[in-house]
Structure 1
Amino acid sequence: MCAVTDQFDGLLTDFSDEVLVDSAMLGDHAAFDVIVRRYGPHLYRFARRLVTSESDVDDIVQETCVAAWRQLPGFQRRSSIKTWLFAICSRKIADVHRKVGSCAADVDGLRDEVDTRLRDPSEEVCGTAFLDALEAELDRLPLRQRAAWVLREVEGMTYPQIAVVLELSPDAVRGQHTRARRNLGLALDRWR
């Protein structure tokens, strides 16, 4: 029986978000599980860059998934399921931020993306030093600027998608992102 379930779950991963959402809205837990497995790592990465406590990150992602399951019948498809999940996650992050008072970004994940094939050790040290400096400067940005920057630069979202997530207009998102880039550019000028 388990092999049949695993084979069925494997087939579900081939379905589009729209088909999975339709099934999940009808109460299909397996379809919702595929959605969670598809976007959970992205949600985790987003929360990890905006919240310092690992346990808070885990709680945020779990609460996001629980809230999404509960709110799924009300999902009106004005955005993609990915954007909708990020919007829920963003609100959970804001809740933690209000409780704690300040959140720090963690750019450790970006270190994994640094090209390990660098031949010159001085370039490798410089890259690590740059990421440390970027992490420190991201910590100093206001939460909305930091979120806009992470969603645009790390997650590759468009301004309209980020607008849905942060509950702002696309122009406001563009402004937040522009200010974040300007502030980071000024602070990291020595790396140019």
Structure 2
Amino acid sequence: MGADDLHASLDQADLDQADLDQADDHIVAGRAADGDVAAFAVLVRRYTPMMRAYTRRILNSSTDVDDIVQEAFVTAWQRLPELADPGKVKSWLMRVASRKAVDRIRASRPQVSVDHIEHPAPEHASPPRVTETRARVDALSDALQRLADPERECWVLRELGGYSYHEIAEEMDVSVSTVRGLLARARKHIIVRMEEWR
């Protein structure tokens, strides 16, 4: 290969990268699923800020955010070929990050030996209160699992992800009025299921 051929090849690579940076999620995620590292790097650049903000919101702290986002991308790289609709990669990545964050919360629950407890626990950490809180979280989790998939996705994006109605509509490829209906049904269902915890 001559110098001119090499320059032409490099120019084409730069052009391809620029095109890839501008391509929609369906194309980028599709190429990444086929093993294109450059395409996956575009997804990482595109969604790291959102995933960091989302993870920080779940954890209520920034200590483990970068680790969790990195773990989420490792899992995404491994499981991207399983994604049925590459155009939904954004919400899929958010779900992966959410699971990683929840796993981290569960793993970091303090293990305290009862032999070393000398002082009464504060009211919010007393065994009855902890049991009640866990039961409430389990009840909410159960209520969410009983929602139809679109209602659950809509509720999670709004209540946990902080998405606007327009962002949810764009993400789910539905109208804003559909988003309002899905959220109304999801909230009504959750209120009914959580009535005993009010």
Distance 1:173 1:151 in 2: 18
Matched, 1:149 2:180: no
Distance 2:106 2:185 in 1: 21
Q: Which of 175, 188, 192 pairs up with 2:187?
A: 175
Q: Which of 22, 39, 59 pairs up with 1:14?
A: 22
Gaps of 5+ in 2: 1-6, 111-135, 142-154, 173-181, 192-198
After superposition, residues 1-150 of structure 1 pair within 5 angstroms as 4=11, 8-77=16-85, 80-101=88-109, 149-150=159-160
- 1:48 CA drift (Å): 1.0
- 1:172 CA drift (Å): 9.9
Distance 1:46 1:85 in 2: 11
Where has structure 1 moved over 2 Å in runs of 4 or more? 3-11, 52-55, 141-148, 152-158, 170-179
> Which one-letter code corresponds to 2:105 in the other structure?
H
Distance 2:54 2:188 in 1: 17
Distance 1:101 1:173 in 2: 33
Distance 1:151 1:65 in 2: 18
SS class of match (1:54): coil
Distance 1:148 1:61 in 2: 20
- 1:100 CA drift (Å): 2.4
> Which one-letter code corresponds to 1:174 in the other structure?
A
> Which one-letter code corresponds to 2:159 in the other structure?
W
**Higher mean displacement: 76-85 or 23-32:** 76-85
- Report the identity percentage: 32
**Higher mean displacement: 170-179 or 54-63:** 170-179
Decide which structure has the larger Cα Rg and report it.
2
- 1:171 CA drift (Å): 6.8
Q: Is the 8 A contact 1:17 1:81 kept in 2?
A: yes
Distance 1:176 1:157 in 2: 19
* Shift in alpha-carbon separation, 1:172–1:90, aligned structure 2, 3 A: farther
- 1:150 CA drift (Å): 3.3
Q: Once the two structures are superposed, what CA deviation does each residue of 1:57-93 show, in whole Å capped at 9, x if it has no partner?
A: 1111000100000001111128700011011011001
Cα root mean square deviation, aligned? 3.8
Distance 1:49 1:66 in 2: 21
The total of aligned residue pairs comes to 131
TM-score by structure 2 length? 0.53
Q: Which residue of 1 aligns with 2:177?
A: none
* Shift in alpha-carbon separation, 1:19–1:61, aligned structure 2, 3 A: same
SS class of match (1:76): coil
